[in-house]
Structure 1
Amino acid sequence: MVLDTTRSSGYRAWEPLTGAARRIALEVLLDGPLSRRDLSRRMALSPGSLTRLTRPLLDSGLLVEADDVEAGPPDASAATTGAGATPRLGRPAQPLAVVPGSHHFIGVKLTGDHAYAALTDLRAEILAADDAPLPGHGPQDVLEVVATLADRLVARLAALSPGAGVTGLGVSVGGHVAGRSVVTDAPHLGWLDVPLGELLAERTGLRTVVENDIVAVTEATHWFGEGHGCDRFALFTIGAGIGYGLVVHGEAVTSPEAGLSLLSHFPLDPQGPLGACGHTGCATAMLTISALVAQGSSALGREVSYDQLLDLAAAGDPVAEAVVQRAGRALGRMLAAVTNLTMPERIVLGGEGVRLAQVAAAAVQDGLHGDRDPRTRDPEIALQSPELARWARGAAVVAIQSFVLGR
């Protein structure tokens, strides 16, 4: 059941779904609208049991009956009689659909110096976005910024949909998170063992879920993004760091080591530069934005930004092109390794540095094919938006999952 209690502050009390109601809501949320027949078949429920279980979800407003569609086998009671009469193909059936606006969530992505926030509905559509710099790295500094962003987005929601409330808050951070609450290690913030979820719940009054940023984006990609409906896909991101997520048979592969950025150390070029982690030609040294900016600035003899380096390479500058093409081949080798080891149907490329895959597309293909058996087929590659609001959306999705899955 869903507790539909909205406080005057605009925050909604949270009672996660459980049991069969949770399974029904999840099926309709991810793949709806669904006819009752399809839903009964998916869940192996009789029509009577399905009606009994969906009634509270309809009464709460989480589900609705969508527009009529023709469904169902021929119904003898609906047949007409008489010469030339045409039998009807069954009664119109109203499929069940989720009401996206029945619940709203706030997601916040924390970087080393900024907080990016997004307000979403139950289907993770971004309704509003906001951001603010972090005045410092102390937990109290971050708490105040997140709380302020949440208050501002609640006010935006009130303007968009008077009377609507926020059900939950999700926060993602680059680092290791334990128990979806405690940030055990966040190098960009200098944090060790900060109980961020508990502190934010006390400060905002919202049930809060904290997760590693790559895990959060992987879940968002799986449920609502480029990986939806794909049995096996890998997410690889390049930006300030290296990120990797894997979904197999419709389930995200999890581990206590998630968030440690293990592929940062993967060797890609034995003649490459030394990475900050001390490894020669590793993914950190070859693909992160800071590494490419340092290599490009050194080669060109002047300071350039990441986008300036890519612009120069795209325009044919030989020095910039050499740096970018080398990185492109390294990216291709990384994709080949991911494909060889995990055999995904699709690889989703994301992160703030994803434009590298476009500017150095030919080099990426060279690197990919160089490390693959010629008898193999290339995985489908999908590019994800680099906007940081999309990362905030990922944080909102882990809150949506916590609500729907009751975890």
Structure 2
Amino acid sequence: MFGIPDTGSTETLPPIGESALGLARAVLMHGPISRGDLGRRLGLSPASLTRLSKPFFDRGLFVEIDDDATGSVGRPTRPLDVRLDGRRFVGVKLTGEAAYGVLTDLRANELASAHRPLQSRDVDTVVAQLDELVQELATAGPIAAVGVSVGGKVTDSRVVARAPFLGWRDVDLAAALEARVGVPVLVENDVAGLAAAEQWFGAGRGTSTFAVITLGIGVGYALVINDRVITTRDSGLGLGGHVPLDSDGPVCGSGHRGCSDAMLTESSIRAQVSHRLGRPVDYDDVLALAAAGEPDALAVLRSSGRALGRLVALVANIAMLDTVVLSGEGIGLWHVVSDEVIEAARNDRDDEATELQISVDDAGVSSWARGAAAVAIQRTLARLTPVP
């Protein structure tokens, strides 16, 4: 079992309220940051900043850094930052075939990684393997919490209500894994977790409203509005895969012609190119062939690129936002046909609309696992005990 040792002092520490958590989020996202900038960002007075930051200094989570570290000049400001080495988290991306884990610091920076092919999809077997993965990643020291992301619907950050790739329904994964690792476990839909990581630590950090579109086994979609990841009862159902994009496109497994699943998933792209070439090829082969100019592979990817551009524009237009983050293990598509994506997105936008910003996170499976760690960080800030 793992955890931060109990110092015996947590009962006397000041409670952490929502305002203080807002302050912690701002320092995590934007630190090192001066008190003046922090006060202006949050609308807080110097006295309020001092009061709200006290619980985090008491826990050893905040530090003041020297002006020399920021390169600033003039009167010393002693900017605030988080103590990155004070906490460790594990994030795990769980698929139908494997578990991919990362060890991170308090900003979800990856410190180590590990991987386990699943021996089976039986719940007890998977939990045992997740425990092994956490043990391997925690050898360097105690961890504060574990985040697990799955492709499917999750309720209360604990129960996997539906995970088609695992064949699971109503599995209390958090309780089962907590019983083994001894620290809080948070479970989240994988795309929502990735959006949380982009919001706090990634491409979305500079804007309060943006969308995330993921490509891979399926097509995922998440929305962040005013610094909140939007979740509903239908989150995790893969509804982003059913958006019609090309009336002449192939048919998906649900019978939809030219939908995002049919146009953008690895399996569909691979099947189209294999059919054209008369031989089986995998997704990486498709990308390499298209990059080399092979006509059939390039034709399929260009069609997919135009479909992705339409999806980007549709999301931006309907949600009235101007930033879209593209990610997922299938993001190699972008590197071959980015021109088609950009042109199609531009064509479907109003000429006077704000210029669209498309950011690409191409870290692959690491991004998913860091997203799970980000969820664990966000949800346990108020419960962290003092740094020993």
TM-score normalized by structure 1? 0.86
Structure 1 distance, partners of 2:77, 2:303, is 57
Q: Is the 8 A contact 2:2 2:183 kept in 1?
A: no
The CA deviation at 1:34 is 2.5
Name 1:12's counterpart in structure 2. Answer: 4
Amino acid at match of 1:170: G
Match for 1:229 among 206, 212, 237? 206
In structure 2, how many angstroms separate the alpha carbons of the residues matched to 1:361 and 1:57? 44
Query: Equivalent residue for 2:58?
Result: 59
Letter in 1 for 2:22: R
Confirm or deny that 1:348 pairs with 2:325.
Answer: yes
Match of 1:149 among 133, 146, 152: 133
1:208-219 matched pairs, under 5 angstroms: 208-219=185-196
1:4-403 correspondence to structure 2 within 5 Å: 9-12=1-4, 17-68=16-67, 92-155=76-139, 157-158=140-141, 165-376=142-353, 378-403=355-380
Residue in 2 that maps onto 1:80: none
1:233-270 C-alpha deviation (Å, 9 max, x unpaired) = 11111100011111122222221211111111111111
Deviation at 1:328, TM superposition (A): 1.4
Partner Cα separation in structure 2 for residue 237 and residue 315 of structure 1 = 25
Q: Answer yes or no: is the 8 Å Cα contact 2:28–2:200 preserved in 1.
A: no
Deviations 1:193-214 (A, max 9, x none): 1011111111211211000000
**Deviation (angstroms), 1:48:** 4.0
Q: CA deviation at 1:324?
A: 1.4
Contact preservation (8 Å) 1:17, 1:403: no
SS across alignment from 2:350: coil
Taking a change above 3 Å as real, the CA distance of residues 269 and 36 of structure 1, as seen in their structure-2 partners, is: closer
2-structure distance, mates of 1:234, 1:13: 39
Q: For the Cα contact (< 8 Å) 1:18–1:406, is it kept in 2?
A: no
- 1:24, distance to aligned residue in structure 2 (A): 2.6
**Structure 1 residue 42, shift from structure 2 partner:** 4.3
Secondary structure in 2 matching 1:360 = helix
SS at match of 1:34: coil
Q: Structure 2 counterpart of 1:34, which letter?
A: I
Q: 1:307 to 1:144 in 2, by over 3 A?
A: same
CA contact (8 A) 1:101 1:122 kept: yes
Instruction: Decide which structure has the larger Cα Rg and report it.
Output: 1
**CA separation of 1:154 and 1:378: change in aligned 2, threshold 3 A:** same
CA, structure 1 residues 322+41, in 2 after alignment: closer, same or farther (shift >3 Å)?
closer
SS at match of 1:228: coil
Q: CA deviation at 1:230?
A: 1.1
Q: For 2:144, what is the secondary structure of its paired residue? A: strand
Q: Deviations over 1:311-352 (max 9, x none)?
A: 111211112122111111111111121122112221111111
After TM superposition, the score normalised by the length of structure 2 is 0.90
Give the Å deviation of 1:122: 0.5
User: Alpha carbon RMSD of aligned pairs, Å?
Assistant: 2.3
Structure 2 CA distance for partners of 1:379 and 1:46, relative to 1, 3 Å: closer
State the Cα distance separating 1:143 from its structure 2 match: 0.2
Q: Which amino acid aligns with 1:131?
A: H
Q: Is the Cα contact below 8 Å between 2:2 and 2:182 reproduced in 1?
A: no
SS in 2 for 1:322: helix
Partner SS, residue 362 of structure 2: coil
Work out the CA distance in 1 between the residues paired with 2:38 and 2:333: 43
Does structure 2 retain, via aligned residues, the 8 Å contact 1:353–1:386? no
Question: What does the per-residue CA deviation read over 1:352-387, in whole Å, with 9 as the maximum and x for residues that have no partner?
Answer: 111112212232234324433344454111111242
Aligned to 1:258, the other structure's residue is in SS state coil
User: Take 2:363 and 2:21, find their aligned partners in 1: how far apart are those partners?
Assistant: 32
CA distance in 2, matches of 1:44, 1:146: 43
Q: CA deviation at 1:141?
A: 1.2
Identity of aligned residues (%): 44
